[in-house]
Amino acid sequence: MTDGAGWVIFNTIYPGWYDGRTTHVHFKVFLSDRTVLTGQTFLPDALNEFIYTNVPDYGDRARQRMVINANDHVIERSDPEHRAFCAVKEERDRYVATLTLGVDRRAELTVGRAGPPPPPPGGMGGPMFGRPIRDRLAALVPGLKRDR
């Protein structure tokens, strides 16, 4: 629950991932007993890659992650400006992720579940599968320029 100023703080483990989606955390904002905003927040892929390749508890996956932030269709369709990405600060024994979320209470309400975004042009297996990445390292590290 938030405090009187609307802030909430919680501790959790670093999230894992599943086939077809990038690393994300779901959240809900209860505006009233009957009005709920459901969303997702995302973490930097360079950090995701570091955790998944260097922390033993995350290293037992049979397959490499194929969907990262750069090719996740949910991000492409619903958050192209990356406003739902956490700012992450590394501390001695933890990471602190911060997301500022603004809610417009005057916005038109949508009742029910919106469902996943529509599939990309050309199919690619539907909305839960990302498009292929040609240069994984460049996609994982923002601003990296590589000659290929």
Beta-carbon contacts of 84 under 8 Å, excluding residues fewer than 6 positions away, are 39, 40, 41, 42, 75, 99
- What residue segments make up the domains of the chain, in order of their start? 24-122
Distance CA 86, CA 89 (A): 10
Q: Write the pLDDT tens digit of every residue in 53-94.
A: 898 888 887 778 889 999 999 999 889 899 999 999 999 999
For the ranges 71-75, 93-97, 115-119, the lowest mean pLDDT is seen at 115-119
pTM of the model: 0.73
CB contact at 8 A, 44 and 85? yes
